[in-house]
Amino acid sequence: MAQKIRQDISIGGNIRRLRKLSHLTQEQVVARLQLKGIEISRSSYSQIECGTYNVRVSELIALAELFQVDYNAFFEKLSI
């Protein structure tokens, strides 16, 4: 019997908000991540913002540097 996997809380909405506050497109974010050595496609990045792809720690570190924010910014207004 297959067990249905419950989706966890997503920080994708906060990542999207931070990107927009930085006045960057998804393509620009992906290009800057790739320059930092993060292997990610625009499609995968889009899935992070939609909450259908789990962001890796290396990506989160690079995004915090890119958006110039503290890690807490990714978790604002999230609750269980």
Does residue 1 fall inside a structural domain?
A: no
Does residue 37 fall inside a structural domain?
A: yes
Q: Which two tokens stand for residue 46?
A: 């889009």
The predicted model scores a pTM of 0.85
- CA atoms of 5 and 36, how far apart (whole Å): 33
| Structure confidence at residue 10 (pLDDT) | 83
Does residue 25 fall inside a structural domain?
A: yes
- What is the domain count for the chain? 1
Does residue 62 fall inside a structural domain?
A: yes
Does residue 77 fall inside a structural domain?
A: no
| Structure confidence at residue 3 (pLDDT) | 57
H helices then E strands: how many in the chain? Answer: 4, 0
Residue 55 is part of a domain; what is its CATH number? 1.10.260
Domain of residue 22, residue span: 12-69
Does residue 21 fall inside a structural domain?
A: yes
Does residue 49 fall inside a structural domain?
A: yes
| Tens digits of pLDDT across the chain (80 residues) | 555 555 667 899 999 999 999 999 999 999 999 999 999 999 999 999 998 998 999 999 999 999 999 999 999 988 76
By CB atoms closer than 10 A (0-12, 13-18, 19+), residue 45 is buried
